[in-house]
């Protein structure tokens, strides 16, 4: 893999700490973005069945010179398929043109459906079948995670949650860490700034390190021990977002950014989302 930080998950598998997200990208845009990202050095791609662009990963893998084994591919089990995991992963794998994903995530708990524990049991089987190297979840709160662990004995390796300077989820991040669950930040750039890029502390640090506000925010995720998957379909930004390994924020700077937390969600609250 390229020279970049790699995280060891609790099942022993290795995951790049920085990846490319492709939510809201068309198949063509996602394919071009992935090919570009692989050229730049990214080795992790985050897609999902519901993004309707898993095909882009398969197409990009055909185009790139980078070996399959050097690329970490994540996809997700959509909510409507919580009772249909086998068929869902087989459909995803076909679109991805893969025999195995590196990480299969349950997309939301959807508490009202009350099928997430059964879905998790099925995901454990899918891992045993070799269709997913690692398994994890997204958008799970402590109460949901506790049920998975208590009822199956299998702890997700990753919990991918909305996390950016305006929504830092420190309690959940700490709970995950205590249970060896790697926290992964979705919408890490607050979907393109949402005012974060204009904050004085971000602008001052950008000036100090001769970096852009987006690079400071990505560095803050890395220095907070988070896996981070900024999305871009713009080649210049795909490059920019990867040029973050030549500086570090110190503890005091990480703490300064911590003060920006407003508990402000851009996406739904997992307790209430059952779509
Ligand atoms: N598990 C879940 O429930 C869940 C939910 C949401 C997202 N995700 C994952 O997390 C990934 C990232 O989240 P996200 O896509 O919501 O938002 P994000 O990565 O926080 O922000 C993406 C937006 O920021 C822009 N952008 C990217 N780099 C930039 C830069 N250097 N300067 C200025 N603007 C920049 C992008 O524009 P352009 O593309 O036009 O360049 C896009 O509009 C998703 O793609 C998806 O893979 C998961």
pLDDT in tens, the chain (275 residues): 448 999 999 999 999 999 999 999 999 999 999 999 999 999 999 999 999 999 999 999 999 999 999 999 999 999 999 999 999 999 999 999 999 999 999 999 999 999 999 999 999 999 999 999 999 999 999 999 999 999 999 999 999 999 999 999 999 999 999 999 999 999 999 998 778 999 999 999 999 999 999 999 999 999 999 999 999 999 999 999 999 999 999 999 999 999 999 999 999 999 999 98
28-53: string of b/e by CB count within 10 Å (b at 16+)?
eebbbbbbbbbeebbbbbbbbbbbeb
For the question of residue 104 being annotated catalytic, the response is no
Nearest to 176 by CA among 228, 225, 116: 225
In this prediction the pTM is: 0.98
Question: Ligand 1 center to residue 187 CA distance, Å?
Answer: 5
Q: How many residues does the chain have?
A: 275
Separation of CA 23 and ligand 1 centre (Å) = 7
Q: Which of 185, 178, 127, 133 lies closest to 159, judged by CA?
A: 185
Q: Which of 51, 104, 116, 209 is catalytic?
A: 51
Pocket test of ligand 1: the residue of 187, 194, 211 to mutate, having most ligand atoms within 8 Å of its CB, is 187
What is the best residue among 20, 73, 231, 237 to mutate for testing ligand 1's pocket, by most ligand atoms within 8 Å of CB? 231
Question: Cα separation of 245 and 231, whole Å?
Answer: 18
How crowded is residue 119: how many other Cβ atoms within 10 Å of its Cβ? 23
Burial class (CB in 10 A: 0-12, 13-18, 19+), 74: buried
Q: Whose CA is nearest to atom 43 of ligand 1?
A: 192
Q: What is the pLDDT of residue 1?
A: 43
Q: Where are the domains of the chain?
A: 12-193+221-239
Return the SS3 of 74.
strand
193 Cα: distance to centroid of ligand 1 (angstroms): 10
Q: Which residues line ligand 1 at a C-beta cut-off of 6 Å?
A: 21-23, 46, 107, 138-139, 160, 186-192, 214, 229-234, 237, 240-241, 267
Say which CATH superfamily domain 12-193+221-239 falls into.
NADP-dependent oxidoreductase domain (3.20.20.100)
Q: What is the pLDDT of residue 2?
A: 47
């Amino acid at each position: 893999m390229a020279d970049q930080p790699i995280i060891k998950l609790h099942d022993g598998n290795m995951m790049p700490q920085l990846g490319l997200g492709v939510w809201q990208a068309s198949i063509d845009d996602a394919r071009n973005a992935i090919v570009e990202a692989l050229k730049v050095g990214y080795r992790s791609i985050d897609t999902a069945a519901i993004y309707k662009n898993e095909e882009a990963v398969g197409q990009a893998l055909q185009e790139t010179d980078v070996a399959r084994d050097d690329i970490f591919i994540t996809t997700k089990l959509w909510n409507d398929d919580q009772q249909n995991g086998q068929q869902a992963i087989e459909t995803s794998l076909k679109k991805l043109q893969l025999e195995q994903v590196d990480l299969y995530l349950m997309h939301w708990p959807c508490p009202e459906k009350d099928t997430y524990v059964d879905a998790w049991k099925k995901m454990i089987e899918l891992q045993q079948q070799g269709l997913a190297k690692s398994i994890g979840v997204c958008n799970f709160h402590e109460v949901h995670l506790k049920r998975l662990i208590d009822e199956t004995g299998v702890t997700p390796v990753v919990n991918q949650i909305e996390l950016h300077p305006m929504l830092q989820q420190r309690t959940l991040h700490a709970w995950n860490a205590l249970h060896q669950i790697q926290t992964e930040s979705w919408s890490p750039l607050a979907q393109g700034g949402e005012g974060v890029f204009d904050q004085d502390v971000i602008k001052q640090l950008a000036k100090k390190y001769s970096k852009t506000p987006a690079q400071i925010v990505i560095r803050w995720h890395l220095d907070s021990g988070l896996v981070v998957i900024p999305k871009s379909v713009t080649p210049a930004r795909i490059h920019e977002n990867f040029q973050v390994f030549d500086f570090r924020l110190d503890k005091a700077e990480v703490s300064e950014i911590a003060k920006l937390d407003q508990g402000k969600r851009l996406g739904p609250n997992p307790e209430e989302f059952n779509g």
